A and B are shown apart, each in its own frame.
Chain A
């Protein structure tokens, strides 16, 4: 079950690349961090967000959940981005390591519970 999520997220990275490269040089400065719906599968909708430091956040939502609005997803990404920034500022965290921060985990869990 977990493997299929990893696969979904992995393929979504290609879509992120497409979205980024499609914008063009002139608009590159104004590129929004929020990338919107990356692609829908039959079971899931996948949303993307990429920071200016090329860190990508991907949210996978059940297709049957139609009540989640775009601005709710945006605010989820904003919270993720803020929590991630706090994790980065932990001097004991080495960039690139899997995140083991309890604060980050609890924020993500709360967010997921609230959304569904």
Chain B
């Protein structure tokens, strides 16, 4: 079908619309199912992670659907990293700056067809921003007033967190700006927490 924004009809773009609609259906269903935050918090507390120190911050903010999609994203990320490493053949990154470039130029391009820019490096070099001019997840989406605090694309944060954890990096990923909430761009802030030692058993607190 023809649209305002002139979508190309090649197969990659068609898959993208289906993904966008699927993700939208998922988020709205979660919102309906989990109207009550307290109940969800109890459920989420039972879930164990290796780098739980990073995750407490997530559970303190955002509504239930955001937390759940973040967790889902995490599960996607820990698996997606293998696919990414196999398809992209990038070597081990030597520092966080290299990691940032690979994420923006290779990973985002490969999976979402967009190339965010890497900016706002902190003086210590452990924190940066990814600026997304467009976010395929939120095509056609308008947040209703009762969900104005929803971190809709929280899946992306989870994916990045999960994927980097599998390459021994604990990171904190959050949205600093979101076009859905009226900002002009979408900005994802990524902060390096620590390198994960290999001898930590996975899955235990």
Contacts and interface: CB of A to CB of B under 8 A. Distances in A.
Q: Is the interface of B mostly helix, strand, loop or mixed?
A: loop
Interface string B15-33: 0000011001101100000
Contacts of B139: 89
B144 interface: yes
B82 interface: no
A103 B25 CA distance: 20
B142 A90 contact: yes
Interface stretch (B1-9, B68-76, B114-122): B1-9
Contacts of A91: 21, 24-25, 27-28, 141
Contacts of A85: 1, 3
A102 B4 contact: no
Contacts of A8: none
A107 B28 CA distance: 25
Contacts of B142: 90, 92-93, 101-103
A12 interface: no
A90 B140 contact: yes
B144 A92 contact: yes
Give the interface residue-count category, chain A: 10 to 19
Interface string B126-155: 000000000000011111100100000000
Contacts, number: 39
A109 interface: no
Contact of A83 (B2, B4, B141): B4
A86 B142 CA distance: 10
A79 B34 CA distance: 36
A104 to B, nearest CB: 9
A86 B144 contact: no
B181 to A, nearest CB: 13
A53 B24 CA distance: 22
A92 B143 contact: yes
A90 B3 contact: no
Contacts of A89: 20-21, 24, 139-140
A90 B152 CA distance: 12
A102 B182 CA distance: 12
Among A83, A86, A91, A100: residue with most chain B CB under 10 A: A91
A82 interface: yes
20 contacts: A79-B4, A83-B4, A85-B1, A89-B21, A89-B24, A89-B139, A90-B141, A90-B142, A91-B24, A91-B27, A91-B141, A92-B24, A92-B143, A92-B144, A92-B147, A100-B144, A101-B142, A102-B142, A103-B142, A107-B4
Interface of A: 79, 82-83, 85-87, 89-93, 100-103, 107
Interface of B: 1-4, 20-21, 24-25, 27-28, 139-144, 147
Given A89-B140, A91-B21, A107-B4, 14 more contacts: A82-B4, A86-B3, A86-B4, A86-B140, A89-B21, A90-B24, A90-B141, A91-B24, A91-B28, A92-B24, A92-B142, A92-B143, A92-B147, A101-B142
